[in-house]
Amino acid sequence: MSAQTGQNTLEFAKHLDEQDPLAHFRQDFYISPDTIYLDGNSLGLLSKRSEQAVHDLLHSWKTLGIDGWTEGEHPWFYLPEKLGEQMAPLLGAEAEEVIVTGSTTANLHQLIATFYKPKGTRTKIVTDEITFPTDIYALQSQLHLKGYEPNEHLIKVKSRDGHTLNEEDIIAAMTEEVAIVILSGVQYRSGQALDMEKLTKEAHKRGILIGFDLCHSVGSIPHHLSQWNVDFAFWCTYKHLNGGPGAVGALYVNKRHFGTLPGLAGWFSSDKSKQFDMEHELTAAPHAGAFQMGTPHILSIAPLLGSLSIFNEAGMEKIRGKSLKLTQYMMDLMSQELSEYGFTIRNPIDDTRGGHLFIEHPEAARICRALKEEKIIPDFRSPNGIRLAPVALYNSFGDVWRTIQKLKIIMKEETYKKFENKRGVVA
Protein backbone atom coordinates (compact mmCIF):
# COMPACT_ATOMS: atom_id res chain seq x y z
CA MET A 1 0.00 0.00 0.00
CA SER A 2 1.30 3.43 -0.89
CA ALA A 3 -0.15 6.92 -0.60
CA GLN A 4 0.15 7.81 -4.27
CA THR A 5 -1.70 10.64 -5.99
CA GLY A 6 -5.39 10.56 -5.07
CA GLN A 7 -4.77 8.52 -1.91
CA ASN A 8 -3.80 11.44 0.31
CA THR A 9 -7.40 12.20 1.26
CA LEU A 10 -9.59 11.53 4.25
CA GLU A 11 -11.95 9.65 1.92
CA PHE A 12 -9.20 7.21 1.01
CA ALA A 13 -8.32 6.70 4.69
CA LYS A 14 -11.99 5.99 5.42
CA HIS A 15 -12.01 3.49 2.56
CA LEU A 16 -9.09 1.65 4.17
CA ASP A 17 -10.93 1.65 7.50
CA GLU A 18 -14.02 0.18 5.88
CA GLN A 19 -11.90 -2.74 4.62
CA ASP A 20 -10.21 -3.31 7.99
CA PRO A 21 -11.16 -6.69 9.53
CA LEU A 22 -9.98 -5.50 12.96
CA ALA A 23 -11.87 -2.19 12.99
CA HIS A 24 -14.56 -3.43 15.41
CA PHE A 25 -11.99 -3.98 18.18
CA ARG A 26 -11.61 -0.20 18.49
CA GLN A 27 -14.92 -0.06 20.35
CA ASP A 28 -13.44 -2.33 23.03
CA PHE A 29 -11.10 0.47 24.17
CA TYR A 30 -11.56 3.71 26.04
CA ILE A 31 -10.43 6.44 23.66
CA SER A 32 -10.76 10.06 24.78
CA PRO A 33 -13.04 12.09 22.51
CA ASP A 34 -11.23 13.98 19.75
CA THR A 35 -7.92 12.41 20.82
CA ILE A 36 -5.58 10.37 18.63
CA TYR A 37 -3.48 8.15 20.88
CA LEU A 38 -0.16 7.14 19.28
CA ASP A 39 1.79 6.12 22.38
CA GLY A 40 0.70 2.52 22.74
CA ASN A 41 4.33 1.42 22.49
CA SER A 42 4.82 3.05 25.92
CA LEU A 43 1.45 2.44 27.55
CA GLY A 44 -1.47 0.76 25.85
CA LEU A 45 -5.03 1.95 26.33
CA LEU A 46 -7.54 0.47 28.75
CA SER A 47 -10.03 -1.95 27.26
CA LYS A 48 -13.53 -2.48 28.60
CA ARG A 49 -12.71 -6.16 29.03
CA SER A 50 -9.71 -5.34 31.21
CA GLU A 51 -11.79 -2.97 33.30
CA GLN A 52 -14.37 -5.73 33.83
CA ALA A 53 -11.65 -8.23 34.74
CA VAL A 54 -10.38 -5.92 37.50
CA HIS A 55 -13.92 -5.55 38.83
CA ASP A 56 -14.35 -9.33 38.74
CA LEU A 57 -11.22 -9.97 40.81
CA LEU A 58 -12.09 -7.20 43.23
CA HIS A 59 -15.47 -8.87 43.63
CA SER A 60 -13.81 -12.23 44.31
CA TRP A 61 -11.77 -10.60 47.07
CA LYS A 62 -14.88 -8.86 48.41
CA THR A 63 -17.01 -12.01 48.50
CA LEU A 64 -14.53 -14.85 49.02
CA GLY A 65 -11.77 -13.35 51.13
CA ILE A 66 -8.88 -15.74 51.44
CA ASP A 67 -10.83 -18.46 49.63
CA GLY A 68 -10.29 -16.42 46.46
CA TRP A 69 -6.92 -18.14 46.18
CA THR A 70 -8.57 -21.44 45.24
CA GLU A 71 -12.22 -20.64 44.48
CA GLY A 72 -14.23 -18.47 42.11
CA GLU A 73 -14.04 -18.12 38.33
CA HIS A 74 -10.36 -17.17 38.36
CA PRO A 75 -8.63 -18.70 41.42
CA TRP A 76 -5.70 -16.43 42.22
CA PHE A 77 -3.29 -19.23 43.05
CA TYR A 78 -3.31 -20.45 39.45
CA LEU A 79 -3.58 -17.11 37.62
CA PRO A 80 0.11 -16.83 36.55
CA GLU A 81 -0.13 -20.23 34.84
CA LYS A 82 -3.58 -19.54 33.38
CA LEU A 83 -2.46 -16.25 31.88
CA GLY A 84 0.77 -17.84 30.66
CA GLU A 85 -1.36 -20.33 28.74
CA GLN A 86 -3.41 -17.49 27.22
CA MET A 87 -0.27 -15.54 26.32
CA ALA A 88 1.66 -18.47 24.86
CA PRO A 89 0.09 -18.26 21.36
CA LEU A 90 1.40 -14.70 21.01
CA LEU A 91 4.92 -16.02 21.62
CA GLY A 92 4.72 -19.21 19.59
CA ALA A 93 5.34 -21.11 22.81
CA GLU A 94 3.86 -24.05 24.67
CA ALA A 95 1.64 -23.11 27.60
CA GLU A 96 4.01 -24.49 30.22
CA GLU A 97 6.91 -22.43 28.83
CA VAL A 98 5.31 -19.06 29.72
CA ILE A 99 4.58 -17.63 33.17
CA VAL A 100 3.14 -14.21 34.04
CA THR A 101 5.24 -12.87 36.89
CA GLY A 102 7.54 -10.10 38.07
CA SER A 103 8.63 -7.17 35.91
CA THR A 104 10.98 -6.77 32.98
CA THR A 105 13.99 -6.04 35.18
CA ALA A 106 13.17 -8.58 37.89
CA ASN A 107 12.69 -11.28 35.28
CA LEU A 108 15.95 -10.42 33.54
CA HIS A 109 17.73 -10.66 36.90
CA GLN A 110 16.11 -14.04 37.47
CA LEU A 111 17.06 -15.40 34.06
CA ILE A 112 20.67 -14.18 34.18
CA ALA A 113 21.06 -15.47 37.74
CA THR A 114 19.80 -18.82 36.45
CA PHE A 115 21.52 -19.21 33.08
CA TYR A 116 24.68 -17.12 33.27
CA LYS A 117 27.21 -19.70 34.42
CA PRO A 118 30.68 -18.41 33.57
CA LYS A 119 33.20 -21.17 33.18
CA GLY A 120 36.78 -21.15 31.99
CA THR A 121 37.17 -18.56 29.25
CA ARG A 122 33.40 -18.25 28.73
CA THR A 123 32.69 -15.34 31.04
CA LYS A 124 31.33 -12.59 28.82
CA ILE A 125 27.82 -11.35 28.09
CA VAL A 126 26.95 -9.84 24.70
CA THR A 127 24.32 -7.14 24.35
CA ASP A 128 24.30 -3.90 22.33
CA GLU A 129 24.94 -0.21 22.85
CA ILE A 130 21.45 1.00 21.92
CA THR A 131 19.35 -1.31 24.09
CA PHE A 132 17.05 -0.02 26.83
CA PRO A 133 19.05 1.10 29.89
CA THR A 134 17.35 -1.23 32.38
CA ASP A 135 18.85 -4.25 30.61
CA ILE A 136 22.33 -2.75 30.88
CA TYR A 137 21.89 -1.94 34.57
CA ALA A 138 20.73 -5.49 35.32
CA LEU A 139 23.56 -7.11 33.36
CA GLN A 140 26.16 -4.88 34.99
CA SER A 141 24.90 -5.74 38.45
CA GLN A 142 24.81 -9.47 37.71
CA LEU A 143 28.42 -9.31 36.54
CA HIS A 144 29.40 -7.47 39.71
CA LEU A 145 27.70 -10.18 41.78
CA LYS A 146 29.79 -12.82 39.99
CA GLY A 147 32.97 -10.82 40.63
CA TYR A 148 33.47 -9.61 37.05
CA GLU A 149 34.15 -6.09 35.82
CA PRO A 150 31.40 -4.98 33.41
CA ASN A 151 33.77 -2.80 31.38
CA GLU A 152 35.61 -5.96 30.42
CA HIS A 153 32.95 -8.66 30.48
CA LEU A 154 29.89 -6.85 29.08
CA ILE A 155 30.31 -6.61 25.31
CA LYS A 156 28.05 -3.97 23.74
CA VAL A 157 27.77 -4.41 19.98
CA LYS A 158 28.04 -1.03 18.32
CA SER A 159 25.40 0.44 16.05
CA ARG A 160 26.73 1.64 12.69
CA ASP A 161 24.17 4.46 12.46
CA GLY A 162 23.21 5.03 16.11
CA HIS A 163 19.71 3.62 15.54
CA THR A 164 19.85 0.07 14.24
CA LEU A 165 22.00 -3.03 14.57
CA ASN A 166 23.72 -5.04 11.87
CA GLU A 167 23.10 -8.70 12.60
CA GLU A 168 26.48 -9.70 11.19
CA ASP A 169 28.12 -7.45 13.80
CA ILE A 170 26.17 -9.29 16.51
CA ILE A 171 27.24 -12.67 15.17
CA ALA A 172 30.87 -11.52 14.97
CA ALA A 173 30.70 -10.71 18.70
CA MET A 174 29.74 -14.32 19.50
CA THR A 175 33.26 -15.45 20.32
CA GLU A 176 34.56 -18.35 22.43
CA GLU A 177 34.66 -15.98 25.41
CA VAL A 178 30.88 -15.46 25.40
CA ALA A 179 28.55 -17.33 27.74
CA ILE A 180 25.26 -15.64 26.97
CA VAL A 181 23.64 -13.11 24.59
CA ILE A 182 20.82 -10.70 25.53
CA LEU A 183 19.15 -8.65 22.79
CA SER A 184 15.88 -6.82 22.19
CA GLY A 185 13.49 -8.41 19.70
CA VAL A 186 12.47 -4.91 18.59
CA GLN A 187 14.68 -1.91 19.34
CA TYR A 188 12.88 0.50 21.67
CA ARG A 189 13.96 3.61 19.76
CA SER A 190 14.19 2.75 16.07
CA GLY A 191 11.63 -0.05 16.01
CA GLN A 192 14.03 -2.39 14.20
CA ALA A 193 12.94 -6.03 14.49
CA LEU A 194 15.84 -8.47 14.69
CA ASP A 195 15.88 -11.88 13.03
CA MET A 196 15.61 -13.80 16.28
CA GLU A 197 15.60 -17.19 14.56
CA LYS A 198 18.86 -16.49 12.72
CA LEU A 199 20.60 -15.07 15.79
CA THR A 200 19.50 -18.03 17.91
CA LYS A 201 20.89 -20.50 15.40
CA GLU A 202 24.20 -18.65 15.25
CA ALA A 203 24.50 -18.49 19.03
CA HIS A 204 23.76 -22.19 19.44
CA LYS A 205 26.31 -23.10 16.75
CA ARG A 206 28.88 -21.55 19.05
CA GLY A 207 27.62 -23.12 22.29
CA ILE A 208 26.14 -19.82 23.54
CA LEU A 209 22.77 -19.35 25.24
CA ILE A 210 20.59 -16.52 23.94
CA GLY A 211 17.65 -14.61 25.40
CA PHE A 212 15.48 -11.76 24.17
CA ASP A 213 13.84 -8.69 25.67
CA LEU A 214 10.44 -8.66 23.97
CA CYS A 215 9.00 -5.51 25.56
CA HIS A 216 8.50 -3.78 22.20
CA SER A 217 7.74 -6.85 20.14
CA VAL A 218 5.19 -8.88 22.11
CA GLY A 219 1.73 -7.96 20.87
CA SER A 220 3.10 -6.10 17.84
CA ILE A 221 4.81 -8.87 15.83
CA PRO A 222 4.33 -12.66 15.77
CA HIS A 223 6.91 -14.84 17.52
CA HIS A 224 7.82 -18.52 17.23
CA LEU A 225 10.09 -18.86 20.25
CA SER A 226 9.81 -22.64 20.61
CA GLN A 227 10.28 -23.27 16.88
CA TRP A 228 13.25 -20.89 16.88
CA ASN A 229 14.66 -22.75 19.91
CA VAL A 230 15.22 -19.50 21.87
CA ASP A 231 16.56 -20.27 25.33
CA PHE A 232 14.56 -17.68 27.26
CA ALA A 233 12.80 -14.34 26.96
CA PHE A 234 11.21 -11.68 29.16
CA TRP A 235 8.84 -8.76 28.61
CA CYS A 236 6.46 -6.24 30.11
CA THR A 237 2.71 -6.30 29.44
CA TYR A 238 1.71 -2.64 29.63
CA LYS A 239 2.74 -1.58 26.10
CA HIS A 240 1.19 -3.42 23.15
CA LEU A 241 -0.51 -5.95 25.46
CA ASN A 242 -2.54 -3.20 27.18
CA GLY A 243 -2.09 -4.63 30.67
CA GLY A 244 -2.13 -1.24 32.43
CA PRO A 245 0.51 0.91 34.16
CA GLY A 246 2.94 -1.27 36.10
CA ALA A 247 1.17 -4.46 35.00
CA VAL A 248 2.83 -7.75 35.89
CA GLY A 249 5.47 -8.89 33.39
CA ALA A 250 6.13 -12.34 31.96
CA LEU A 251 8.90 -14.69 30.92
CA TYR A 252 9.52 -17.66 28.68
CA VAL A 253 11.86 -20.59 29.30
CA ASN A 254 12.35 -23.23 26.64
CA LYS A 255 11.18 -26.58 27.93
CA ARG A 256 14.59 -28.16 27.35
CA HIS A 257 15.75 -26.09 30.33
CA PHE A 258 13.01 -27.38 32.65
CA GLY A 259 14.55 -28.82 35.77
CA THR A 260 17.14 -26.04 36.00
CA LEU A 261 16.86 -24.58 39.47
CA PRO A 262 16.01 -20.87 39.55
CA GLY A 263 18.96 -18.63 40.34
CA LEU A 264 16.68 -16.52 42.54
CA ALA A 265 14.33 -18.92 44.28
CA GLY A 266 11.23 -17.97 46.23
CA TRP A 267 8.08 -19.51 47.64
CA PHE A 268 6.22 -19.27 44.33
CA SER A 269 9.05 -21.14 42.59
CA SER A 270 7.50 -24.20 44.20
CA ASP A 271 5.62 -27.05 42.65
CA LYS A 272 2.07 -26.08 43.56
CA SER A 273 1.27 -29.51 44.97
CA LYS A 274 4.15 -29.08 47.47
CA GLN A 275 4.07 -25.33 48.13
CA PHE A 276 1.98 -25.50 51.28
CA ASP A 277 4.01 -28.33 52.78
CA MET A 278 6.23 -25.49 54.05
CA GLU A 279 9.41 -27.48 53.64
CA HIS A 280 12.76 -25.67 53.70
CA GLU A 281 13.98 -27.69 50.72
CA LEU A 282 12.56 -26.24 47.49
CA THR A 283 10.66 -28.59 45.21
CA ALA A 284 10.64 -26.42 42.11
CA ALA A 285 7.74 -26.34 39.66
CA PRO A 286 8.45 -28.61 36.68
CA HIS A 287 7.84 -25.82 34.14
CA ALA A 288 8.35 -22.06 33.70
CA GLY A 289 6.53 -21.50 36.99
CA ALA A 290 9.81 -22.40 38.71
CA PHE A 291 11.12 -18.95 37.80
CA GLN A 292 8.52 -17.07 39.82
CA MET A 293 9.68 -15.65 43.12
CA GLY A 294 7.03 -13.91 45.19
CA THR A 295 3.26 -13.90 45.52
CA PRO A 296 1.54 -12.73 42.31
CA HIS A 297 0.13 -9.19 42.33
CA ILE A 298 -3.47 -10.13 41.71
CA LEU A 299 -4.93 -6.69 41.08
CA SER A 300 -2.05 -5.81 38.71
CA ILE A 301 -2.39 -9.08 36.83
CA ALA A 302 -6.17 -8.81 36.45
CA PRO A 303 -6.32 -6.56 33.34
CA LEU A 304 -4.51 -9.21 31.31
CA LEU A 305 -7.52 -11.51 31.61
CA GLY A 306 -9.41 -9.02 29.47
CA SER A 307 -6.71 -7.80 27.13
CA LEU A 308 -5.41 -11.25 26.19
CA SER A 309 -8.90 -12.36 25.21
CA ILE A 310 -8.88 -9.59 22.58
CA PHE A 311 -5.51 -10.69 21.19
CA ASN A 312 -6.58 -14.30 20.95
CA GLU A 313 -9.75 -13.30 19.11
CA ALA A 314 -7.96 -10.97 16.71
CA GLY A 315 -4.94 -13.20 16.02
CA MET A 316 -1.35 -12.01 15.76
CA GLU A 317 -1.10 -12.46 12.00
CA LYS A 318 -3.99 -10.08 11.38
CA ILE A 319 -2.64 -7.63 13.97
CA ARG A 320 0.77 -7.66 12.31
CA GLY A 321 -0.74 -7.25 8.85
CA LYS A 322 -2.71 -4.17 9.85
CA SER A 323 0.23 -2.75 11.83
CA LEU A 324 2.48 -2.88 8.78
CA LYS A 325 -0.19 -1.19 6.66
CA LEU A 326 -0.73 1.57 9.24
CA THR A 327 2.96 2.38 9.60
CA GLN A 328 3.52 2.19 5.83
CA TYR A 329 0.60 4.57 5.25
CA MET A 330 2.03 6.97 7.81
CA MET A 331 5.47 6.91 6.17
CA ASP A 332 3.95 7.44 2.74
CA LEU A 333 1.98 10.46 3.95
CA MET A 334 5.09 11.84 5.65
CA SER A 335 7.02 11.66 2.39
CA GLN A 336 4.25 13.51 0.59
CA GLU A 337 3.29 16.09 3.19
CA LEU A 338 6.34 16.69 5.39
CA SER A 339 9.34 16.42 3.08
CA GLU A 340 10.20 20.13 3.36
CA TYR A 341 10.17 20.32 7.16
CA GLY A 342 13.36 18.50 8.12
CA PHE A 343 12.05 15.18 9.45
CA THR A 344 14.23 12.07 9.15
CA ILE A 345 12.73 8.57 9.38
CA ARG A 346 15.09 6.39 11.43
CA ASN A 347 13.09 3.17 11.69
CA PRO A 348 13.53 0.50 8.98
CA ILE A 349 11.31 1.31 6.02
CA ASP A 350 10.91 -2.36 5.07
CA ASP A 351 9.01 -5.04 6.98
CA THR A 352 11.81 -5.44 9.54
CA ARG A 353 10.20 -2.63 11.56
CA GLY A 354 8.08 -3.33 14.62
CA GLY A 355 4.85 -1.57 15.58
CA HIS A 356 6.11 1.99 15.88
CA LEU A 357 7.92 4.60 13.81
CA PHE A 358 10.87 6.68 14.97
CA ILE A 359 11.44 10.07 13.37
CA GLU A 360 13.98 12.73 14.26
CA HIS A 361 13.78 16.50 14.17
CA PRO A 362 15.93 19.15 15.91
CA GLU A 363 12.75 20.59 17.48
CA ALA A 364 11.31 17.22 18.51
CA ALA A 365 10.42 18.10 22.11
CA ARG A 366 8.58 21.23 21.00
CA ILE A 367 6.79 19.37 18.24
CA CYS A 368 5.59 16.71 20.67
CA ARG A 369 4.16 19.41 22.95
CA ALA A 370 2.42 21.03 19.99
CA LEU A 371 0.94 17.68 18.96
CA LYS A 372 -0.38 17.11 22.47
CA GLU A 373 -2.02 20.53 22.41
CA GLU A 374 -3.84 19.28 19.31
CA LYS A 375 -4.89 16.12 21.23
CA ILE A 376 -2.48 13.89 19.37
CA ILE A 377 -0.40 11.83 21.81
CA PRO A 378 3.14 10.99 20.60
CA ASP A 379 6.19 9.87 22.55
CA PHE A 380 9.36 11.97 22.82
CA ARG A 381 12.77 10.33 23.13
CA SER A 382 15.77 12.48 24.00
CA PRO A 383 17.51 14.21 22.40
CA ASN A 384 15.49 14.67 19.20
CA GLY A 385 13.30 11.61 18.58
CA ILE A 386 9.56 11.21 18.15
CA ARG A 387 7.98 7.77 18.36
CA LEU A 388 4.58 7.26 16.74
CA ALA A 389 2.70 4.00 17.22
CA PRO A 390 -0.53 3.54 15.26
CA VAL A 391 -1.76 0.44 17.09
CA ALA A 392 -3.72 -2.13 15.10
CA LEU A 393 -6.37 -2.83 17.74
CA TYR A 394 -7.51 0.74 18.35
CA ASN A 395 -6.01 3.14 15.81
CA SER A 396 -7.48 3.77 12.37
CA PHE A 397 -6.18 4.88 9.01
CA GLY A 398 -8.22 8.02 9.60
CA ASP A 399 -6.15 8.62 12.75
CA VAL A 400 -2.98 8.42 10.66
CA TRP A 401 -4.29 10.84 8.02
CA ARG A 402 -5.45 13.38 10.63
CA THR A 403 -2.13 13.17 12.48
CA ILE A 404 -0.08 14.00 9.41
CA GLN A 405 -2.39 16.87 8.46
CA LYS A 406 -2.13 18.34 11.98
CA LEU A 407 1.63 17.89 11.97
CA LYS A 408 1.88 19.67 8.64
CA ILE A 409 -0.06 22.65 10.03
CA ILE A 410 2.13 22.72 13.15
CA MET A 411 5.25 22.87 11.00
CA LYS A 412 3.89 25.29 8.41
CA GLU A 413 2.56 27.76 11.00
CA GLU A 414 5.49 27.09 13.39
CA THR A 415 3.13 26.82 16.36
CA TYR A 416 5.67 24.53 18.05
CA LYS A 417 7.89 27.55 18.68
CA LYS A 418 5.77 28.69 21.60
CA PHE A 419 6.98 25.67 23.57
CA GLU A 420 10.36 25.04 25.17
CA ASN A 421 12.45 22.46 23.32
CA LYS A 422 12.85 20.44 26.50
CA ARG A 423 11.38 17.15 27.67
CA GLY A 424 9.14 16.74 30.70
CA VAL A 425 10.00 14.57 33.70
CA VAL A 426 8.44 11.64 31.86
CA ALA A 427 9.14 11.91 28.13
> Domain boundaries in the chain?
10-30+315-418, 51-313
> pLDDT confidence of 6, banded at 50, 70, 90?
low
Q: How far apart are the first and last CA of the chain?
A: 32
Q: Please check if 390 is assigned to a binding site.
A: no
Structure confidence at residue 270 (pLDDT) = 97
Confidence category of residue 7, pLDDT binned at 50, 70, 90: confident
| 420: pLDDT strictly greater than 90 | no
Confidence class of residue 427 from pLDDT cuts 50, 70 and 90? Answer: low
Give the count of alpha carbons within 13 A of 238, CB side only. Answer: 13
Q: For 218-262, how does the pLDDT look when each residue is reduced to its tens digit (9 = 90+)?
A: 999 999 999 999 999 999 999 999 999 999 999 999 999 999 999
Task: Please count the other Cβ atoms lying within 10 Å of the Cβ belonging to residue 348.
Answer: 18
Is residue 303 marked as binding?
no
Q: Tell whether 258 is in a known binding site.
A: no
Instruction: Work out the mean pLDDT of the chain and round it to a whole number.
Output: 96
Q: Which distant-in-sequence residues (6+ apart) come within 8 Å of 342 by Cβ?
A: 361, 362
CATH code of the domain occupying 51-313: 3.40.640.10
Residue 67 annotated as part of some ligand binding site: no
What pLDDT, on the 0 to 100 scale, is given for residue 171?
98
Which of 78, 24, 1 lies closest to 305 in space, CA to CA? Answer: 78
Specify the pLDDT at position 421.
82
Please tell me the predicted confidence (pLDDT) of residue 5: 53
The reply, when asked if residue 132 is annotated as ligand binding, is yes
pLDDT tens digit sequence for 92-139: 999 999 999 999 999 999 999 999 999 999 999 999 999 999 999 999
The CATH number for 10-30+315-418, chosen from 3.30.1330.30, 1.20.1070.10, 3.40.630.30, 3.90.1150.10, is: 3.90.1150.10
Q: Which of 353, 346, 341, 355 is nearest to 411 (CA)?
A: 341
Answer yes or no: is 291 a known binding residue: no
Q: Is 267 annotated as a binding residue?
A: yes
Among 82, 136, 78, smallest CA distance to 104 is for: 136
Average pLDDT over residues 33-37: 95
105 is in an annotated binding site: yes
**Are 186 and 239 a contacting pair, CB within 8 Å?**
no
Report cis status (omega within 30 of 0) of the bond before 21. no
Known binding residue 101? Answer is no
For residue 216, name the pLDDT band (cuts at 50, 70, 90).
Answer: very high
Res. 4: pLDDT tops 80: no
pLDDT score of 249: 98
- Any binding-site annotation on 415? no
Residue 321 has pLDDT above 80, yes or no: yes
Question: What is the tens place of the pLDDT at every residue in 250-296?
Answer: 999 999 999 999 999 999 999 999 999 999 999 999 999 999 999 99
Residue 133 known to bind ligand: yes
